[in-house]
Amino acid sequence: MINQNCCNRYKETIVKSSLLRNFFLLFLFSLPVFSYADAQDDEVAAWTQTTLLNTFTLDYDSYEEDIAANRINYTQNARDALRGFLGNYLSVIEENQLSLHPQALGNAQIINEGYFSGIHFWRINQAIAIPELSIQIAFSIVVVKVNGDPPYLVQSVSMIKQPYP
């Protein structure tokens, strides 16, 4: 009877040890995945913020070239939305000989992330201020992962404009 109890305790210890070991291995192997996802999220958020700031850094005597240089970062749909928005301000920039220096209002925030038809996407919110025009713009942007340079592409843009103090 004593040998049987001892044997049962030994089996229980082995089972507990195996479960603990399996849990530890699962945890250990999942760390690189989570770290990579976090690093990629940070990368796409930084890319989005930089892209927006570059897009709205315009100079009155070269704004057409400035806009053309940033086209590579946007799909046609996103470019159309930006063109509709900027169209109202281009004459103001030119007439007043303005150079725009946009400022990020906080960091880009990833509010959604996933896959659609095998394409990795992020919905990112970012607000910027353009003091020269006395406006701030709250953007909600869908960014997709692409194979190329740049590594991401702005697929769609929604904007809300407000006065900037």
> Which burial class, exposed, middle or buried, applies to 156 when counting CB atoms under 10 A from its CB (0-12, 13-18, 19+)?
middle
pLDDT confidence of 35, banded at 50, 70, 90?
very low
pLDDT tens digits, 41-90: 999 999 999 999 999 999 999 989 999 999 999 999 999 999 898 888 99
pLDDT, average across residues 27-39: 54
Domain ranges of the chain: 2-163
Q: How far apart are CA 6 and CA 106, in angstroms?
A: 63
Higher pLDDT, 119 or 33: 119
What is this structure's pTM?
0.75
CATH no. for 2-163: 3.10.450.230
Give me the pLDDT at residue 165, please: 83
Query: Is residue 24's pLDDT more than 80?
Result: no
DSSP conformational letter for 158: E
pLDDT tens digits, 118-127: 999 999 999 9
Give me the pLDDT at residue 33, please: 47
